[in-house]
């Protein structure tokens, strides 16, 4: 994902370190498999029509690396977009739907632990 390269100020690296750690934990989670890369719009009928803003962990990592998150809020919004899209498109009792709920619970827990420290 290329975008306007922002000046890489040292503190921005430090500032976003917790997000990179948190994202690495999400990617390593056993239930992360449906969310690791963008949904192939051609191979999932209806996805393009239903989901207005697709998002996935790989895209989030690219945006982090390219300094495209100007604040914490935008990072959280993208992570929650992954889970909201999942709940919108997948039945709660489906394989992917269940994985999405487990990943969201895991993220919410780690995010509050990160903030509380």
Ligand X SMILES: Cc1ncccc1N[C@@H](C)c1cnc2ccsc2c1
Residue 65 C-beta: closest distance to ligand X, Å: 21
Residue 89 C-beta: closest distance to ligand X, Å: 5
| Candidate list 96, 101, 110, 111; residue touching ligand X; CB under 6 A | 96
- For the chain, helix, strand, coil in percent to 5 are 65, 0, 35
Residue 14 C-beta: closest distance to ligand X, Å: 32
Hey, CA dihedral for 109, 112, 115, 117, is it positive or negative? negative
In the window 23-52, what residues touch ligand X (CB under 6 A)? 34-35, 39, 44, 47
- DSSP letter assigned to residue 54: -
In this structure, are residues 20 and 64 in contact, taking their beta carbons and an 8 Å threshold?
A: yes
Interface with ligand X: number of residues (CB under 6 A): 9
User: How far is 20 from 64, CA to CA, in rounded Å?
Assistant: 7
Closer residue to ligand X (CB): 47 or 111? 47
- DSSP letter assigned to residue 16: T
User: How far is 14 from 77, CA to CA, in rounded Å?
Assistant: 20
In the window 74-93, what residues touch ligand X (CB under 6 A)? 86, 89-90
Residue 35 C-beta: closest distance to ligand X, Å: 6
| Residues in contact with ligand X by the rule CB under 6 A | 34-35, 39, 44, 47, 86, 89-90, 96
């Amino acid at each position: 994902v290329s975008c306007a390269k922002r000046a890489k100020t040292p503190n921005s690296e430090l500032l976003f370190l917790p997000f990179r750690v948190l994202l690495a934990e999400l990617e390593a989670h056993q239930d992360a498999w449906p969310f690791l890369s963008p949904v192939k719009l051609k191979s999932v009928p209806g996805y393009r029509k239903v989901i207005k803003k697709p998002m996935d962990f790989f895209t989030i990592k690219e945006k982090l690396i390219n300094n495209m998150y100007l604040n914490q809020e935008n990072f959280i919004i993208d992570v929650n977009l992954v889970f909201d899209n999942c709940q919108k498109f997948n039945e709660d009792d489906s394989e992917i739907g269940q994985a999405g709920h487990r990943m969201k619970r895991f993220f919410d827990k780690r995010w509050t632990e990160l903030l509380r420290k």
